[in-house]
Amino acid sequence: MTRFIFITGGVVSSLGKGLGAAALGALLQARGYKVRLCKLDPYLNVDPGTMSPFQHGEVYVTDDGAETDLDLGHYERFTGNPASQNDNTTTGRIYTEVLAKERRGDYLGATVQVIPHVTNEIKDFIREKDGSADFVLCEIGGTVGDIESLPFLEAIRQFGNEVGRERALFIHVTLLPYIPAAGELKTKPTQHSVKELMSVGIRPRILLCRADREIDADELRKIALFCNIDEDKVIPALDASSIYEVPLTYHKEGLDAQVLDAFGMEAGKDPDLSKWEQIVRRIKNPEGEVTIGVVGKYTNLTDSYKSLNEALCHGGIANKVKVNIKFVESTLFDEGSDEDIVHALNGVNGILVPGGFGERGAEGKIKAARFAREKKIPYFGICYGLQMAVLEAARHTAGIEDATSTEFEDQTGTHLIGLMTEWTKDNKKEKRGNEDDMGGTMRLGAYPASLKKGSKVAEIYGATDISERHRHRYEVNINYKDQLEESGFIFSGLSPDGALPEICERTDHPWFIGVQYHPELKSKPFDPHPLFTSFIKAAMDQGRLV
Ligand code: GLN
């Protein structure tokens, strides 16, 4: 029997609901249950694919090619279960379905309304998961009280009624702000938030109270009393020094046992959390540290690089070192002198150029790649970071001085990077044109690649056939392969048909690798991605101490 756990948030956004859901998922999994996590996002975009990273943070890509919310990254990293298209929906997607049905005439003459048609569509999304796991954890994006969330709250209220309290549980995540003048944590916003939730007919049975310091037992009792919740189900959720500590702290506060209790299930013996303990031990007791310069243009919102930050941390866990990330804003170097980039990157042990879109900041990234090549500093280029390394190699080592990308405004020059117009997906041809829609039309999701025997990447992966997740519109032009390879920049990974370059590396450098895909999406704390493990190792060996 599948049980459903709905997680809502109140008081403020960015409370870490996604992380809480992921941590609870991991705890239930450690107790031997099969879990599935999904997210309902109340915004009108069909998916976050067309949103700016500054708006939404990272777009997490699944194997089946969905562009999804970054919380799905937490779910996957914490549970190890690969996320899929059907684990995330939005108001935009729900309405798209409803309107398509209306046009088809599926509603048989009815007036199409939010209740029941939109709410039914939301319930179908949830119900489709019945039977797929012991527990389905369903996070509702946004904050209770938002206009946009209402149809979702109504849908989960109805769903809860339909399956009954033995199969549905509502957990509400709130904040207890600390007011320095009063010297205490305040419970009133939590009381109001629960009241707001009750006003739409949802009675939470567990409260996760986020706070930056210890919550007094008296305060917890007060919340229980005013919010009509069992005392032992008001659970303190204090800030943790590492996100990987969250499952351990929530377990200590009794979250997983209380969830089982709410469903009338026996908690039994404690779960084995030793793998989490080991990760936390390593994070807290590093044997050294390295600093990686991340040269990108979304650096003032580090959520834009969520999975990347995590993957670098995982590479550190694997090598028992702490990884400091130094974000370097690439747009500052577009016009700046080479000295500026030298100054900004001086002392880093490795340079990583992550994914990105558009021309702004591109020249800065090319300068970073050049600095890494010339100074023999480990360089890791991801997606755009590969494309910019190709332009750097072409311009400065292969004699193609006007090498450029069709993604840039000025269309003159030699296009080593061009719009991808045709590729193969599952034996079917995909075609794209310049005029196509922007949403969902990139080369998205898992694609296989064949690695060159004897190459550095083949050694790192310990394999020659791999599969990785993509999200890009442009590609490196294979026709320049020979010219680039003669200059020491080899194409060590290709699509199986040999048409699309997937990985390039320099043979004249200790560690210089660029990949067209996003390896960070598949890295996990207990299963670090081999490229990140190897990159951090190279950064340590490089010995340029901070
Ligand atoms: N802008 C580049 C492209 O679309 C790279 C995309 C990325 O880095 N994810 O191909």
Task: Tell me, letter by letter, the H, E, C secondary structure of 128-145.
Answer: CCCCCCCEEEEEECCCCC
Token reading at 315: 């590479």
What is the residue-averaged pLDDT of the chain? Answer: 94
Q: Give the pLDDT of residue 337.
A: 78
pLDDT > 90? residue 72? yes
Report how far residue 237's alpha carbon sits from residue 16's, in angstroms, rounded to the nearest whole number: 10
The share of the chain scoring above pLDDT 90, in percent, equals 84
Mean pLDDT calculated for residue range 71-83? 96
Strand duo 184-185 + 178-179: pairing: antiparallel
Cβ(289)–Cβ(53) under 8 Å? no
Give CATH 3.40.50.880 domain extents, the chain: 286-419+475-492+502-545
pLDDT > 70? residue 188? yes
Q: Give the pLDDT of residue 445.
A: 95
Paired residues of 36 in beta bridges: 136
Cβ(72)–Cβ(39) under 8 Å? yes
Fold assignment, 3-279 = Rossmann fold (3.40.50)
Residue 522 DSSP class: G
Q: Is the CB of 471 under 6 A from ligand 1?
A: yes
Residue 176 DSSP class: -
Q: Is the CB of 356 under 6 A from ligand 1?
A: yes
Mean pLDDT calculated for residue range 476-495? 95
Which residues lie below 8 Å from residue 296, measured CB to CB, with a gap of 6+? 304, 305, 327, 328, 329, 330, 353, 354, 356, 361, 365
Question: Higher-confidence residue: 421 or 133?
Answer: 133
Cβ(237)–Cβ(263) under 8 Å? no
- 64: confidence class by pLDDT, cuts 50, 70, 90: very high
Whose C-alpha lies nearest to ligand 1, atom 7?
A: 355
Which residues lie below 8 Å from residue 329, measured CB to CB, with a gap of 6+? 296, 297, 299, 300, 361, 364
Which residues lie below 8 Å from residue 460, measured CB to CB, with a gap of 6+? 530, 531, 534
Q: Any catalytic annotation for residue 485? A: no
Other CB atoms within 10 A of residue 365 CB: 30
Q: What share of the chain is helix, strand, coil (3-state, %, to 5)?
A: 40, 25, 35
- 431: confidence class by pLDDT, cuts 50, 70, 90: confident
From ligand 1's centre to the CA of 350, what distance in Å? 22
Q: Give the pLDDT of residue 338.
A: 76
Q: Any catalytic annotation for residue 520? A: yes
Distances 242 to 13, 284, 322 between C-alpha atoms, Å: 20, 9, 12
Atom of ligand 1 nearest to the CA of 356: 8
Mean pLDDT calculated for residue range 53-69? 91
Q: pTM (2 decimals)?
A: 0.94
Mean pLDDT calculated for residue range 64-75? 94
pLDDT > 70? residue 546? no
From ligand 1's centre to the CA of 108, what distance in Å? 44
Whose C-alpha lies nearest to ligand 1, atom 8?
A: 355
Paired residues of 174 in beta bridges: 209
- 303: confidence class by pLDDT, cuts 50, 70, 90: confident
Q: Is the CB of 357 under 6 A from ligand 1?
A: yes
Token reading at 292: 């990686």
* Longest CA–CA separation in the chain, Å: 75
Q: Give the pLDDT of residue 170.
A: 98
Fold assignment, 286-419+475-492+502-545 = Rossmann fold (3.40.50)
Q: Give the pLDDT of residue 28.
A: 97
pLDDT of 152-166, one tens digit each?
A: 999 999 999 999 999
Ligand 1 pocket test, candidate residues 407, 408, 416, most atoms within 8 A of CB: 407
Mean pLDDT calculated for residue range 204-224? 95
Q: Tell me which of 117, 472, 518, 529 is the catalytic residue.
A: 518
Q: Is the CB of 58 under 6 A from ligand 1?
A: no
From ligand 1's centre to the CA of 397, what distance in Å? 23
Mean pLDDT calculated for residue range 502-531? 97
Q: Give the pLDDT of residue 427.
A: 80
From ligand 1's centre to the CA of 22, what distance in Å? 28
Q: Give the pLDDT of residue 500.
A: 94
Q: Give the pLDDT of residue 312.
A: 97
Q: Give the pLDDT of residue 434.
A: 80
From ligand 1's centre to the CA of 473, what distance in Å? 6
Mean pLDDT calculated for residue range 262-270? 92
Q: Give the pLDDT of residue 53.
A: 83
Torsion of CA 407, 411, 412, 413, to 10 degrees: 20
Whose C-alpha lies nearest to ligand 1, atom 9?
A: 355
Cβ(513)–Cβ(351) under 8 Å? no
- 474: confidence class by pLDDT, cuts 50, 70, 90: very high
Q: Is the CB of 355 under 6 A from ligand 1?
A: yes
Mean pLDDT calculated for residue range 324-329? 93
Token reading at 53: 């990273």
Q: Is the CB of 470 under 6 A from ligand 1?
A: no
Q: Any catalytic annotation for residue 138? A: no
Question: Higher-confidence residue: 244 or 542?
Answer: 244
Mean pLDDT calculated for residue range 3-10? 97
Q: Is the CB of 517 under 6 A from ligand 1?
A: no
Question: Exposed e or buried b for every residue in 292-316, given b needs 16+ CB within 10 A?
Answer: bbbbbbbbeebebbbbbbbbbbbbb
pLDDT > 80? residue 545? no
Q: Tell me which of 383, 472, 475, 504 is the catalytic residue.
A: 383
Give CATH 3.40.50.300 domain extents, the chain: 3-279
List the one residue out of 389, 333, 399, 342 whose CA is nearest residue 363: 333
At residue 239, the 3 state secondary structure works out as: coil
Kindly write down the DSSP assignment for every residue of 325-336, as one continuous string.
EEEEETHHHHHS
Comparing 280-284, 299-303, 486-490, the range with the smallest average pLDDT is 299-303
Kindly write down the DSSP assignment for every residue of 468-492, as one continuous string.
EEEEESEEE-GGGHHHHHHTTEEEE
